Amino acid sequence: EPEVTQTPSHQVTQMGQEVILRCVPISNHLYFYWYRQILGQKVEFLVSFYNNEISEKSEIFDDQFSVERPDGSNFTLKIRSTKLEDSAMYFCASSRQVRIDTQYFGPGTRLTVL
């Protein structure tokens, strides 16, 4: 069964550094998403991406964040200058349709900012 993959599984970085989290969505999916979960808190939507542009984003997704689909398979989330409060689990998801119940999630990348 096809699955969404994410690398790395755990990333440790120093405050102020740039990080890139990588995702490989399911190959025939058209919609891509990033979510995050701070430890002990809710899973929060960050951004959705379709047709090579952002289709929706939350208040969390400020100028420090950017997304890119650099080639036909990868979907990346960049945090330009990490803060301590960016420490969280980041989930990538993809879907063929826009509705939530068709989204397939990756296993997540745990980002730790020191």
**Binding of residue 54 to other proteins (CB under 8 A):** no
**Binding of residue 107 to other proteins (CB under 8 A):** yes
* Binding segment (CB under 8 A) for other proteins, from list 11-19, 40-48, 62-70, 77-85: 40-48
Q: Which is nearer to other proteins, 12 or 98 (CB)?
A: 98
**Binding of residue 40 to other proteins (CB under 8 A):** yes
Backbone dihedral region for residue 75 (phi beyond 0: left; psi -120 to 50: alpha; all else: beta): beta
Backbone dihedral region for residue 51 (phi beyond 0: left; psi -120 to 50: alpha; all else: beta): left
The whole-angstrom separation of Cα 95 and Cα 87 is 26
**Binding of residue 45 to other proteins (CB under 8 A):** yes
Q: How far is the CB of 79 from other proteins (least distance, A)?
A: 20
DSSP symbol at 102: G
